[in-house]
Chain A
Amino acid sequence: MPFRTASLALAASGLLLTGTAQAIEYNQVDATRSSLAFTSKQMGVPVPGSFKRFNASIAFDPARPTAASTTLEIDLASIDAGSREANDEVVGKQWFNVKAHPTARFVSTGVRALGNNRFEALGKMTVKGQTRDVVAPFTFKQEGSGGVFDGGFVLKRMDYGIGEGPWADVSAVANEIEIKFRVVANAGPAKK
């Protein structure tokens, strides 16, 4: 019955709207407890690194995950790639070209609930002027008045031209870079 289905949908959306009114949004990011780490593989050797400075704005309501949205901005010059030598190298033209492209950006286009506090953020990742679709699974855990988002995905550096010229040799530095993020956010007033 089309009519019945429609009314059910209406009822459901009404419920959701009611939910929103009372929902909490975890939109105040605690920078000191959040982290953005990555692991590159150099000659098969996992080398950990991280970005020290990034901004995240998150609107997330566990009761209505699909309405969530997030923007992540990474200050690429704040990279720690594992050694002084590497830090000097990766801000350069062949890697991030930080002078021309100081920030990388992730803008979500949607969030899917996978059940069991597991979700999937879909979005556009822009690095070095290249934009690619990214799917990042993450978990959400309530912690006091705040929430912890833990997740990660594999970024293929060659999709963005990260490591050009001789560095395009993926037998030395693997194409796959494992990204891990932890965003600790406190509940703030819900934006509308």
Chain B
Amino acid sequence: MPAPSPRYTGPAMAAHWIMAVLILVAFPLGVYMQDLPLSPDKLKLYSYHKWIGMTVLLLFLPRLLWRITHRPPAPLPMPAWQHRIAESTHHLLYLLMVLVPLSGWLMSSAKGFQVVYFGVLPIPDLMGKDQGLGDFFLQAHKLLNFALLALVGLHVAGALKHQILDKDGTLRRMLPFGQ
């Protein structure tokens, strides 16, 4: 039996799972909250959603810097086309980790509702109030989110395929425990 592949570094794992949880909470929250009739709960959910999004954006830069300065474990054996898909998926996921919260931030600014992080720290608006642009960024935010959903689906499907079908122990590389 070959020696198990090395793991990702601790900070890489932490960033991966923290981002995963944040995205998996923010996405359904975003889908759910927008159809609610206006109520105090709706205002609260919108705020929570925005705080989560800003957290993702905030974590992105250190995560990217860590990724650039730390080589991840070598890819597991797989056909070249699968490797290309995996790599493209990772690149696009990184791109959307920025574009999704950024489009939400732009939408908030254009719609005239500033983001106030945790209700205390005002985040500067990226533009003045503009109803037309607000609606545009709403559509952009939706579209980017469904792209993100598709990519996360592909990413998870790939991981499960490696874990269950190839039995190559791909998951433990991203987990701090297990053999």
Contacts and interface: CB of A to CB of B under 8 A. Distances in A.
A46 interface: yes
A43 B38 contact: no
A17 interface: no
B2 interface: no
B161 to A, nearest CB: 42
A174 to B, nearest CB: 10
Interface stretch (A20-28, A79-87, A132-140): A79-87
B114 A45 contact: yes
B39 A44 contact: no
Contact of B112 (A43, A83, A88): A83
Given A43-B119, A44-B119, A82 B39 contact: no
A176 interface: no
A117 interface: no
A42 B44 CA distance: 9
B116 A45 contact: yes
A167 interface: yes
Contacts of B46: 43
Contacts of A167: 39-40
A9 interface: no
Contact of A173 (B40, B111, B114, B116): B40
Interface residues of B, number: 17
A166 interface: yes
B120 interface: yes
Nearest to B45: A43
A11 interface: no
A166 B112 CA distance: 24
Interface in A169-188: 169, 171-173
Interface in A15-55: 42-48
A45 B47 contact: yes
B50 to A, nearest CB: 9
B113 interface: yes
Given A43-B43, A172-B43, A82 B120 contact: no
Interface string B50-91: 000000000000000000000000000000000000000000
A119 B50 CA distance: 42
A86 B112 CA distance: 12
A172 B112 contact: no
Interface in B120-173: 120
Interface string B103-121: 0000000011111101110
Nearest to A163: B40
A82 B38 CA distance: 13
Contact of B113 (A47, A88, A169): A47
Given A82-B113, A88-B38, 15 more contacts: A42-B43, A43-B119, A44-B47, A44-B119, A45-B47, A45-B113, A45-B116, A47-B113, A48-B112, A82-B112, A83-B111, A85-B38, A89-B38, A167-B39, A172-B44
14 contacts: A43-B46, A43-B116, A43-B119, A44-B116, A45-B114, A47-B113, A83-B111, A85-B38, A86-B38, A166-B40, A166-B41, A167-B40, A172-B41, A173-B43
Interface of A: 42-48, 82-83, 85-86, 88-89, 166-167, 169, 171-173
| 7 A-B pairs closest in CB distance | A44-B119, A172-B40, A43-B47, A44-B116, A169-B40, A89-B38, A45-B116
